[in-house]
């Protein structure tokens, strides 16, 4: 999977990862609706987008979903994109800023 996931798609993936990467679309809907208030069609649309991006595989007769990417892969990609976009590729500047932010939030 090369394309970046949208926030909506990350919501879907977070539910899947929470359940060891496998869950029916109906169960994904049950959890997502509590968090987002989305309608069933909206949830299924985002699941299908994840399938098209190669993040989820559909299998079985009951619209079962399997995560094809793990949380750590996505986290690494997101952090790398953030470092490039906001810190000119400097992981050192990213870490310094993260530590400073943590200290200021802890106060």
> Do 99 and 63 lie in a common domain?
no
Same domain, 17 and 59: yes
How confident is the model over 27-42, as pLDDT tens digits? 999 999 999 999 999 9
Residues 63 and 76 in one domain: no
Instruction: Give the pLDDT confidence score for residue 103 in this predicted structure.
Output: 86
> Do 35 and 57 fall into the same domain?
yes
Which helix or strand (DSSP H or E) is residue 34 part of? helix 25-36
- pLDDT confidence of 68, banded at 50, 70, 90? very high
User: For 83-105, how does the pLDDT look when each residue is reduced to its tens digit (9 = 90+)?
Assistant: 999 999 999 999 999 999 988 88
Same domain as 80, residue 62: no
- Percent of the chain whose predicted confidence (pLDDT) is above 90: 88
For residues 9-35, one letter each, b for 16 or more C-beta atoms within 10 angstroms of the residue's C-beta and e for the rest, the string is bbbbbebbbeeebebebebbbebbeee
Q: First-to-last CA distance in the chain? A: 40
Our count of domains for the chain comes to 2
Over residues 33-54, mean pLDDT? 96
106 three-state secondary structure:
helix
Same domain as 50, residue 20? yes
Range of the domain at 62: 7-67
Q: Closest Cα to residue 12, out of 61, 63, 55?
A: 55
């Amino acid at each position: 999977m090369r394309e970046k996931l949208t926030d909506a798609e990350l919501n879907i993936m977070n539910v899947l990862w929470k359940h060891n990467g496998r869950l029916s679309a109906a169960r994904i809907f049950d959890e997502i609706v509590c968090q987002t208030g989305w309608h069933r069609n909206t949830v299924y649309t985002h699941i299908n987008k994840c399938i098209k991006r190669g993040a989820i595989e559909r299998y079985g007769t009951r619209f079962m979903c399997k995560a094809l990417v793990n949380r750590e892969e996505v986290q690494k990609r997101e952090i790398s994109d953030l470092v490039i976009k906001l810190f000119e590729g400097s992981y050192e500047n990213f870490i310094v800023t993260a530590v400073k932010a943590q200290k200021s939030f802890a106060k």
